[in-house]
Amino acid sequence: MKYKVFVDGQEGTTGLKINERLSGRADIDILKIDPERRKDPEERRAFLNNADIAFLCLPDDASRESAALVTNNRTKIIDASTAHRTDPNWTYGIPELSKNQRALIKDSHRVAVPGCHATGFNMALYPLIQEGIVPKDYPVTCQSVTGYSGGGKKLIEKYEGTGADKKNLESPQFYALSLKHKHLPEMQKVNGLVFPPLFTPIVGDFYQGMVVAVPLLARLLSKKISAEDVQNILASYYASERFVRVMPYGSESYLDNGFLDATGCNNTNRIEIFVFGDSEQILLLSRLDNLGKGASGAAVQNMNIMLGLDEGIGLE
């Protein structure tokens, strides 16, 4: 059986990657809209309603518009934008998040792909909140270093161009300094945090890959626990997950002279979680490909689950 798949926003970074991941699959028929008519609502409506799976790789407002164009009870939508990530009528698309999440995704017709920063943050922190280790009113902070592809076409063109400000881009750049980054609502809601995290992302002069860091002070936790204990808890929580690797405690052998490479999971759907520290300070680090597990890989993984297929098809 062939499933009909339509990518609304096929020219964007995530859309291109989804098409690339699906292009060699014999079980998928990719529906292609005429580029000149890709903004025509009626043409998009026809493609969306003809698909078994529709990926929305669009700005938020356009994603909401496309979702509203689906008028049948058959088409399943996977939205890669920020538009529906905290909407209670949409299922949050991290299958590994809890023992129930995969079943919720399988039975859903509306799935929101998490943000890349949020994926690293949630997968490191969520189990510790569920285990009653990190209290929900903890003053959570997070930093994330990411490649510039996460900023889409405009930022890619800026970094890969020859403009007058090219020299300035050699240095890592803090951004979202209003402290209102678009991933914050899902980071707070998914974890049930009383307060939003203080989140400071950084973009670097490399194309893809990212590391998300969440520091914890042991004295503020609900239980007396060490970094090694945290590693054991996370390793047990994700033990059966093929795309999640909780690295051994004291993972110096995975570092390069003490440095952690943000590109180590590139071109995979894998996320690696590291735990460093001692009995007083604990550092959680999530490494993933912002275009893989942080975007297109997660989207395809969700699609496989929604269609009742092996979720690793096209990802391993």
CB-count burial class (<10 Å; 0-12, 13-18, 19+) for 153: exposed
CA distance 165 to 121: 31
Place of tokens 């996977």: 78
CA distance 296 to 315: 10
Is 142 marked active-site?
A: no
b/e per residue, 92-114, with b = 16+ CB within 10 A?
bbbbbbbeebbebbbebbebbbb
Count the helix, strand and coil residues of the chain and give each as a percent rounded to the nearest 5.
Answer: 35, 20, 45
CA distance 96 to 131: 16
CA 138 to chain CA centroid, nearest Å:
23
Identified catalytic residue from 57, 116, 142, 265: 116
| CA distance readout (Å), 196 to 25, 179, 227 | 41, 10, 24
Catalytic residues: 116
